[in-house]
Amino acid sequence: MTATTHDIIQSTVKPVLVLDSGIGGLTVLREARVLMPERSFIYVADDAGFPYGGWEEIALTERLLALFRRLIDTHDPEVCIVACNTAFTLAGAALRAEFPNMTFIGTVPAIKPAAERTRSGLVSVLATPGTVKRAYTRDLIQSFASQCHVRLVGSENLARMAEAWIRGEAVSDEAVLAEISPCFVEADGKRTDIIVLACTHYPFLANVFRRLAPWPVDWLDPAEAIARQARRKVELIPGAEHPESFDFAIFTSGQPDFTTRRLMQGFGLKIAM
């Protein structure tokens, strides 16, 4: 292959943009990179708006629309992965309507696969309060899990705990257990056997969850399924290679701390200033 041909191929390979309110979307980025090694990635942490769970619906939708206007105009990505259940269950339809020429891969609670896998029929969905109260989430239950008993558990604190944990800060067992305990249900001799992790931050704490759980359950992490869906939507261009330059991360606050910078380096991301 001549250098000219190689350059032409590389020029057609647009980046994949991944957005989350914080660093939880790194769980999705990690899986997406495995399946799309030829693509560069732009990771956007809207830390100035973190956490999304407490936002009013109209205000958060307007924020996301304005943010994506800038991001799409500046970076011209191939697709956008919204790696946040709260954001996509709220604003996914509005984003697709506002940007009809852009492909959005959303993150929604993995209720359908949970309903397919459960043996006891007792499923819990561990999410942010914003995801729990969405009609979108309840529609998923009605459509795919009507034969199950689904408990929705909205955690006010776990996203912050997961951010602290992945940065190496101490998080007490008691605090984590208080957040996950409502997920464990016993009824008519049966027990919860699947817990859906409906926030991309939560898989960072999965090993802690397993250690503290009163009995073994299947913790359902949707990151791999999101990445597979993105791969289906992103054309595989023969001869394309991952660019030599690092992928990069954008923090909307413009002020990621030292620990966060080190974490981004560990994920092979340089900070865009």
Q: Which two tokens stand for residue 62?
A: 């307007």
Q: What is the pTM of this model?
A: 0.87
Tell me the C-alpha distance between 235 and 56, whole Å.
36
Q: Choose, from 80, 148, 183, 199, the residue flagged as catalytic.
A: 199
First to last CA, the chain: 35
- Which pLDDT score, from 0 to 100, does residue 130 have? 84
pLDDT tens-digit map of 111-130: 999 999 999 999 999 999 88
Q: Among residues of the chain, what percentage have pLDDT more than 70?
A: 95
* Mean pLDDT taken over the chain: 91
Q: Choose, from 80, 84, 148, 183, the residue flagged as catalytic.
A: 84
- Which pLDDT score, from 0 to 100, does residue 142 have? 95
Mean pLDDT calculated for residue range 221-227: 91
**List of residues 6+ apart from 78 with CB closer than 8 A:** 13, 14, 15, 16, 39, 103, 234, 235
183 is catalytic: no
- Rounded to 5°, the CA angle 223-229-234 comes to 120
Q: With 90 as the cut, is the pLDDT of residue 226 above it?
A: yes
Confidence of residue 272 (pLDDT cuts 50, 70, 90): confident
- Kindly report which listed range (7-21, 22-36, 71-85) carries the lowest average pLDDT score: 7-21
pLDDT tens-digit map of 45-104: 999 998 887 788 999 999 999 999 999 999 999 999 999 988 998 999 999 999 999 999
pLDDT tens-digit map of 136-191: 899 999 999 999 999 999 998 999 999 899 888 999 999 999 999 999 999 999 99
